[in-house]
Amino acid sequence: MPDAGLRVGVRADRRPGRAGPRRPRRTGRHRPPGPHRRTRRGHHRAGRRRRARRRLAQPARPGWAEAFERAAAALRDAGVRTVPVDVTALLAAARLLYEGAFVAERYAAVGDFVSAHPDAVDPVVGAIIRAAGELPAHRLFADLETLDRLRMAAAAALEGTDAVLLPTTTQHPTLAAVAADPVGVNSDLGRFTNFANLLDLAAVAVPAGDVDGLPFGVQLVGPAFSDARLARIGRLLTGEQATPVADPAEPPTATSGGTVPLAVVGAHLRGQPRNGELTARGATFTRATTTAPDYRLHALATTPPKPGLERVVRGGAAIEVEVWDLPATGFADLVARLPHPMAIGPVRLADGTSVSGFLCEPVALADVRDITASGGWRRHLADTAVATGRVPDGVGVG
């Protein structure tokens, strides 16, 4: 069974007759305020076993708890094992989106326009943005500190997991309900989603049937760039045929031949001064390609000169790389001897696959030249040779 290593939790507290989102009881024990599941590999630790025995709240809308359980059961039927996980930190971060000072970002973006054109903006949105302009700076810094603590707590809760299973929302409000309390209703609708951007998490929404003629859905949440893995788990719920896609959050493993594909971008390219570090370890060249258009390239002040590859959220470009296959032992030795500020991590290629590759620690990129426009290290060296009439010492242009 291909997904037998996955685990998702199921035990929960139910009150099907109660309307509206429910709050945790105030008892001597902490009771996380939302339904949740997580997938995980490996053995339970004692603390996690204690968490597994706690009773966890479910969606309170009639029929929603049962629909959520059916989704978890469908994963179990597909070979997934289930355990509960504490998502208190996730839900606390979600509340910061509406109740904290991060709304000041909206004022910084459009506050002047809203103030100058009050009639051109939805009155509710306008009121929120104008109020955000009155928030003191110390509130934002306090919330940033709170978010840092919640991020660490969330990371601990997700450690060793494949994904967390949550509902996508809490209700189907009427237009009248939204008009009566637009902020409250929207905050409630995002109870299980508003934390994702703040905590830099990935999420995939999956349809999970109907309740009383209205759609019900669940979502799978995981670390940033785990989208492919989440989609693979989601297909267990929808029955869709899986399409092989590399997961950037999971470094590629050795092939059946015992080699690891490695993307190189600078001094390890063919004809460059450190290419011998690959060939001496038994590496073989497989192809020349480019990264996905999500990267920037920088000229580092190192000897010999070499570039630093950085993945960015926006403003990236495709950068020329070579892919080499290294024996697993040679790959391990290369990584163990890697000098600062170089690092090895997942690199997305133009065809959507992901391989291990050379990246650069962000701390080394503060005051270096951005050479992304060159499209690659060789082109940068050629441009430099034309502009200066000389090639930098220790490098080759070919």
pLDDT tens, position by position, 106-125: 999 999 999 999 999 999 89
* pLDDT single digits (tens) 141-173: 999 999 999 999 988 888 777 889 999 999 999
Mean pLDDT over 287-295 rounds to 95
* Cβ-based neighbours of 60, under 8 Å, separated by 6 or more: 15, 16, 18, 19, 20, 21, 22
CA dist 209 → 14, 71, 263 (Å) = 19, 9, 43
pLDDT recorded at residue 228: 85
Pairing of strands 354-360, 259-264: parallel
Of 204 and 24, the one with more pLDDT: 204
pLDDT recorded at residue 176: 94
pLDDT recorded at residue 385: 77
Burial class from Cβ neighbours inside 10 Å (0-12, 13-18, 19+) for residue 398 reads exposed
Strands (E), 180-311: 201-211, 214-223, 259-264, 284-290, 295-300, 306-311
Q: Is 2 helix (H, G, I), strand (E, B) or coil?
A: coil
Tally of helices (H runs) and strands (E runs) in the chain:
13, 12
C-alpha–C-alpha distance, residues 315 and 293, integer Å: 9
C-alpha–C-alpha distance, residues 328 and 325, integer Å: 9
CA dist 356 → 215, 254, 353 (Å) = 40, 11, 10
> Residue 122 has which token pair?
């939805």
